[in-house]
Chain A
Amino acid sequence: MTTIHIGPAAGLRHGLALAGRGLTKIRKNPESLLDVTVQPILFLVVFVYLFGGAISGGTGEYLQYLLPGIMVQNIVFASLGTGMALNTDITKGVFDRFRSLPIARSAPLVGAVLADVVRFAVTLVVLIAFAYVLGFRATTDPARFLIAIVLMIVFGLCLCWISVWVGMLVKSPQAVPGTLVAFMLPLTFGSNVFVPAETLPGWLQAWVDINPVSHLATAARALLLGGDWLASTGWAFLWAAGLVAVFFPLALRAYRKRVS
């Protein structure tokens, strides 16, 4: 009886090969990046020029407040793609092809999640570049700027397990955004991304205070604009770890159930 064991190194190689497939698809089909390029710009423009005056009494001031938070919001929306891509692979039968190969069981999932790093990076670069054109300026140092970007991508990687989980549960790829937006709107708008929590009624403030998106936005603000960044960044990373701890097992269980 010979048992072939696939070690972690081989598993990572499989995951990277499959992530490479995701990149090839982006290269051939650049419009698949519209949601992480055009959408962030639209959000930024709408909020800065439509609400900036009303909220902060000036667009420049509001842009400084908004950018760190809107980075978090766009990461949340970008994570939609993971669940859709996986669900598409399952319904089209591509997944079964991979599963019939002698590769690590988790490789297709890991590959899909790794390919999303590119989407997160693209959305962040577009947002930050456009914000600089509009006049945003970070007031800290490059090191903290870098930590902010790493934090965003790590958060995205942790968050997309929710997307994977939903992608495994719903029947068709089209059902993924509909289901996830129900999670994402309260997460992103019920936060301190757009307005300071102090301006909200008490019950809403209570939610905003525990909302992980608020913690991420607070950390990003501290990292880009100054303030106590160590504690808030610590909390943000903890939140990211918490999301993985809950949704990774749920996603894996739904995956096993879906494919057997």
Chain B
Amino acid sequence: MYAIEAEGLVKRYGDTPALDGVDLAVPEGKVLGVLGPNGAGKTTAVRILATLLRADAGTARVGGHDVVAEPTAVRALIGLTGQYASVDEDLSGRENLVLIGRLLGLPDARARAVDLLARFELAEAGDRAVKTYSGGMRRRVDLAASLVGRPRVLYLDEPTTGLDPHSRNEVWSIVRGLVDEGVTVLLTTQYLEEADQLADLITVFDHGRVIATGTPHELKRKTGTQALQVRPTVAADVPAVAAILSDITGAVPHTDADTHVLTVPVADPVLLSTVVRKLDEAGITADELALRLPSLDEVFLSLTGSRA
């Protein structure tokens, strides 16, 4: 059972396609990370799935409800946090949450606001106007606002853009808590680390298309070969190590001039033991010797040809 399903979504602004045939599927209770550079169509997709925007072609269902035919049923299931779906800056955090609770017809709108303010560590600031909040508090109140109706599906559109690392960790732990409660999350982000930390599945967008999809682990395996990294203890050994590596792998290693780390792609992990033996025979010691999967950063680079 998929909480979010979309097929062939197309959205054009004039002649420019913002989305050019996007398919998405998020199983219930999972986190889908949508990665992509600015202008890749991430926000457009979220707005369509949140019933704020109508696609030119394609269909989308949330919790089994069609976003065009049954928008109210979809809205009853979702929560939305993004830079465009914000709260009223002139009102206090509490007033914003109570207003949303009233609009949703909650019998205990005030109590719900108190709960959420406490949960998001906003109890003290609850009666101050939102415009006086710090960036992290602001993001927390936006998140709280999207949770008033206890949504089953949550859209987080770049929830940590512009936040300091501490506030970012706070948002991450909130998201993990929601996932533990069974909420399905669609998260867009420009931060590969964020997707790696939170997402069960990752979809990579570029120019309005899905260019890759899978688990973070699958994506890393799919695109790149693994990399072997060696840092000789003595910098003078760099040429000798380079010779050994190119001898074994048949590829010219990349040497970082500052750190003296040599990196070379390897197809077969078994080569690692050969490298260890050859270094040993040559009497070279290494501070660092490792075989690793490419980072999502490198995955992204190899998929799109540009840094995220």
User: Which residues of A are at the interface with B, using a C-beta cutoff of 8 A?
Assistant: 1-6, 10, 13-14, 17-18, 20-21, 24-25, 28-29, 89, 92-94, 96-103, 107, 259-260
Contact = CB atoms under 8 A, between A and B. Distances in A.
A92 B52 contact: no
8 contacts: A1-B69, A18-B103, A21-B99, A29-B90, A99-B52, A100-B51, A100-B75, A101-B103
A94 B86 CA distance: 5
A23 to B, nearest CB: 11
Contacts of B51: 99-100
Interface residues of B, number: 35
A61 B252 CA distance: 99
B54 A96 contact: no
B103 A96 contact: no
B72 A96 contact: no
A3 B102 CA distance: 21
Contacts of A17: 99, 102-103
B53 interface: yes
Interface stretch (B77-85, B117-125, B253-261, B295-303): B77-85
A97 B87 contact: yes
Contact of B84 (A5, A24, A93): A93
B interface: dominant SS: loop
B86 A4 contact: no
Contact of B103 (A3, A14, A28, A92): A14
A7 B65 CA distance: 20
B95 interface: yes
Contacts of B87: 94, 97
B211 to A, nearest CB: 27
Interface of B: 50-54, 65, 69-70, 72-73, 75-76, 78-80, 82-91, 95, 99-100, 102-105, 129, 145, 149
A94 B51 CA distance: 15
Nearest to B51: A100
A92 B85 contact: no
A98 B52 contact: no
Given A93-B86, A100-B85, A103-B103, A3 B54 contact: no
B156 to A, nearest CB: 13
Given A14-B103, A20-B99, A93-B83, 11 more contacts: A3-B70, A3-B73, A18-B103, A21-B95, A24-B95, A92-B86, A96-B82, A96-B86, A100-B51, A100-B78, A101-B100
A4 B76 contact: yes
B73 A4 contact: yes
A97 to B, nearest CB: 5
Given A5-B72, A25-B90, A97-B87, A260 B54 contact: yes
A28 B50 contact: no
A79 B84 CA distance: 27
A103 B105 CA distance: 9
Contacts of A99: 51-52
Contacts of A98: 103
A101 B102 contact: no
A24 to B, nearest CB: 6
